[in-house]
A and B are shown apart, each in its own frame.
Chain A
Amino acid sequence: MFHKIPKEQNLIVILDDDKDVQFSLDSLLRSVGFTTFIFSSTDEFLTTPLPPQACCMLLDVKLGNVNGLDFLEEMAQRGLTLPVIIITGHGDIPMAVRGIKSGATDFLSKPYKDTVLLNAIADSLEKWRNNQESQEKKKQATDYYATLSQREKEVMECIISGLMNKQIADRLGISLITVKIHRAHIMKKMHAQSLADLVRMSEYLNLHNKEISRYKNK
């Protein structure tokens, strides 16, 4: 069965070597409004470019001569960040532990109840959306941050560490008024409404420098 790559959101990728299981999953997921993208082998999956709407993957552990868990690790190495739900016919605890450690969001054993599967997919979707949002925010913050001058970057590092203007002026050896001007520029360039906003953005940029502190070290 050939599926056109759908335009809408919520595309679920199915990777299972058993045709009957594939098509039953396809039918179930379409009945609740998802679109599916089916692969029978890992090679097929790796050679086909994935549409950006792909938001969750159902991965069987047994894929012919390939182990699904090995493949999950390979995916991580290749930088594929799709949330993955592992489905297996004969799961045991070591397998589940390995799956979750390798980054799977859920681990289901066959045969599964439809609600269990759909809940797992809903959780994965949530995770994907959050991931997607934070990716966007991170990108935005990085873009804004790139517009700052070197001095402004230094000042920003001090601000998010909680230093007062006086302390910043003292630390960088500039006047208080200059610090205030830099500060105003930073808020404007980073599109931050408040100091809290700026701090949140800095989280995405991983700017926090533990050596800078408002209080003197003991």
Chain B
Amino acid sequence: MRHLSLLFIVLLSLSIFCFTLLPPRHDAFSVLYVIVIFLVSQAASRHVIKLIACLCIGLSVFSFSLVHRDDIVHGPYTRLALSIFAILLVTLLALRNQRITEALAKQKRILAHADRMLTLGYLSASIAHEINQPLTAIRTYAHSGVRWLKKTEPDLTEALHCFGSIEKNSQRAESIIGNIKNLAQKKSGIPEQISVHQIIQESCDILKNEISNKKINVIFNPSGQDIQFCAVRIEIQQIFINILMNAIQAFKESIPNNFIHIRVYDMTDRENFFAIHVVDNAMGFIEATPENIFDAFFSTKQNGMGLGLTICKGIIEAHGGRLIAEHNKLKGAKFIIQLPKHVS
């Protein structure tokens, strides 16, 4: 794809160059180099744009000197100046456009990061509990290891078992911290191959405590074939955590028939797309509607920023997918995530 467009740009430049070499009345064609700059600016970095602009100006001047080599003094310099002016202007605009696009992308990243930090803040009690478990086991094993060794007849097998378990539990703590670090990092990373089942499972694991506190039964049976797709892992995880957390917070009571149902399937009506349904039987959309729920700074939570779902929708749309909210038929809310398996 990339090579094709590169080839197209080179061919375009060459044909413009050839046009400008035609008899003198055609030398205003060098204005057409702006198309080349416009096309290049879609994908290239700022340095490349500048370089291409210089090349275009160079080519115009070169073709001008070739065409008007007999009468270099009385040549139509105004036309040349106009072409060069146009090329410079478009370059400037392209550069400015790119700067603004970059700034916008950076703002989006910062916002997404802020949202992840908010999530982490919300989860801090659970994270502390999660790390406390292996820590408790490590401490208990350490005490018990010492006791096995201090016996009148030291039991080495038991003591070795204790040390092995200490190692295992410190790894467990490490992996919990690793997961949090991933969520807390500023960079969003590069797209990679992701298993849908795995990422849903991981998101549920992160929210394990919240789920059990509200006595929610999460029904997610990863039967059938797993779907692999290409996306930025942390962004996809952020979407799931956000949507699941919304569902969890929508449950006001801790009662045993609370449930969240997650379903993953290939879309039949859109080729190369898959969908994930997240359905709950909580209170549904009160005050909010499925339409305005994605509006920025709209929140029904007491200390919500009102950006979680806006960011999710943004991420999904950047991946070429869709995020839809609906009323669930009986009770509660339903979120549908549609994503392509390959992101261009």
B186 contacts the other chain (Cβ, under 8 Å)?
Answer: no
Inter-subunit contact B215/A65 (CB<8 Å) = yes
The total of interchain contacts (Cβ-Cβ below 8 angstroms) comes to 84
Mark each residue of chain A from 97 to 129: 1 if its CB lies under 8 Å from any CB of chain B, else 0.
000000000000011111000000000000000
Closest to A19 in B: B137
Contact of A90 among B129, B140, B165 (CB under 8 A): B129
Complex CA distance for A62 and B129, rounded to whole angstroms: 10
By a CB distance below 8 angstroms, the chain B residues around A20 are 133-134, 137, 165, 168-169, 172
Closest to A114 in B: B143
Complex CA distance for A62 and B256, rounded to whole angstroms: 15
Complex CA distance for A113 and B146, rounded to whole angstroms: 13
Which of A25-33, A77-85, A137-145 lies on the face that meets chain B?
A: A25-33
Complex CA distance for A156 and B220, rounded to whole angstroms: 69
A204 contacts the other chain (Cβ, under 8 Å)?
Answer: no
Inter-subunit contact B136/A21 (CB<8 Å) = yes
By a CB distance below 8 angstroms, the chain B residues around A111 are 132, 135-136, 138-140
Mark each residue of chain B from 152 to 184: 1 if its CB lies under 8 Å from any CB of chain A, else 0.
000100100110010011001000000000000
Inter-subunit contact A112/B161 (CB<8 Å) = no
Complex CA distance for A25 and B162, rounded to whole angstroms: 11
Chain A contact residues (Cβ within 8 angstroms of B): what range?
Answer: 20 to 34
Instruction: List 8 A-B pairs, Cβ < 8 Å.
Output: A20-B168, A21-B136, A30-B144, A64-B212, A89-B133, A110-B132, A111-B132, A111-B140
Inter-subunit contact A28/B133 (CB<8 Å) = no
Complex CA distance for A89 and B135, rounded to whole angstroms: 10
Which A residues have a C-beta under 8 Å from some C-beta of B? 18, 20-21, 23-25, 27-28, 30-32, 62, 64-65, 89-90, 110-114
Closest 3 CB pairs of A and B: A114-B143, A24-B140, A28-B144
Which B residues have a C-beta under 8 Å from some C-beta of A? 125, 128-129, 132-141, 143-145, 147-148, 151, 155, 158, 161-162, 165, 168-169, 172, 209, 212, 215-217, 256
Complex CA distance for A62 and B209, rounded to whole angstroms: 9
By a CB distance below 8 angstroms, the chain A residues around B137 are 18, 20-21, 23-24
By a CB distance below 8 angstroms, the chain A residues around B136 are 21, 24, 89, 110-112
- Least CB distance from A115 to B in Å reads 8
By a CB distance below 8 angstroms, the chain B residues around A18 are 133, 137
- Least CB distance from A58 to B in Å reads 11
Complex CA distance for A114 and B146, rounded to whole angstroms: 11
